[in-house]
Amino acid sequence: MKLIFAGTPEFAAQALRAIVAAGHDVALVLTQPDRPAGRGMSLQPSAVKKVALDNGIEVFQPLTLRDAEAQAKIAAIGAEVMVVAAYGLILPQVVLDMPRFGCINIHGSLLPRWRGAAPIQRALLAGDAETGVCIMQMEAGLDTGPVLLRGAFPIEASDTTATLHDRLAELGAKLAVEALGKLPLPAEQQPAEGVTYAHKIEKVEALIDWSKSAAELDRHIRAFNPFPGAQALFGGQTVKLWQATPVAGEGEIGTILAVDRGSVVVACGAGALAVSELQKAGGKRLPVQQFLAGHPLKVGDHFDLPA
């Protein structure tokens, strides 16, 4: 099948690899312009661009798809379908209508739950029991189109955004190839009930509020791993918390109840949190024993409470 692929991060790159491996004719790849990154802040290509270049596929990096020149380039391909995954640009209706089979999107949630930008983090924060991928026929609304294929799996107690991302990317790639092999597929309209929006993650959300329950804070830490990292304040300094387990315990909120080689136990609004991996600003992620060697914490110390 002759197609155009539009995507930017690693989640999308995995799908592009699978589509190329399945033998489809990827005639053009759309991806975001190169962005400054790393210590030197030099321009870096997206994960999708790297895959495209490795496979000799033409890359197009427009700032918008609303101008006539960009639209003419896409139309000239004569693609049967466009596959979109975490692209980052709005596709106007004229572009959605260009391919014979329209545009299909790989979305990392069980629609209509978690439409929008951050479905993985929102599912974790909400304590959802499962997540998955929907292959959706795109329309002008935000993730409102009918679903062509879906796959689901349980969210484990140890899952982080990083681990869920990898499992969802793998499932999304598999379903995208399956969908391409079966087009046209029957379309299942999304129900009006159960719609939720996965708003973009803001860094300010990463700050830990110790008045919440240990179960909520456990999900919080896992949801913000790897970005931007759950943040606690101690003596006015930021400390990132990377790994923790809810445990029994009670005391004044934010107070350290116990310290040993394996964890620092902190009182929460309900229960306590045994923190086992921390990172001071400018430092490395460290297991508790190594962290305590340079940053002694003791029973009775308090983490700062949000203002």
Question: Which residue's entry shows tokens 């006539």?
Answer: 68
- Segments in the chain below pLDDT 70: none
**Predicted TM-score (pTM) above 0.85:** yes
Residue (of 175, 131, 147, 198) closest to 14 by Cα position: 175
Q: What is the pLDDT of residue 306?
A: 79
Q: What is the pLDDT of residue 73?
A: 97
One-letter amino acid for residue 239 of the chain: V
Tokens of 88: 């980052």
Distance between CA 266 and CA 300 in Å, rounded? 10
Distance between CA 143 and CA 163 in Å, rounded? 23
Q: Which pLDDT tens digit goes with each residue over 240-282?
A: 999 999 999 999 999 999 999 999 999 999 999 999 999 998 8
Question: Which residue's entry shows tokens 């349980």?
Answer: 154
CA dihedral 6, 9, 10, 16 (to 10 degrees): 10
Q: Which pLDDT tens digit goes with each residue over 159-197?
A: 999 999 999 999 999 999 999 999 999 999 999 999 999
Q: What is the pLDDT of residue 108?
A: 98
Query: What is the 3-state secondary structure of 49-117?
Result: HHHHHHCCCCEECCCCCCCHHHHHHHHHHCCCEEEEECCCCCCCHHHHCCCCCCEEEEECCCCCCCEEC
Measured in degrees and rounded to the nearest 5, phi and psi for residue 24 equal: -75, 155
Domains of the chain plus CATH, in order, are 2-197 (3.40.50.170), 203-294 (3.10.25.10)
Sequence length of the chain is 307
Q: What is the pLDDT of residue 38?
A: 78
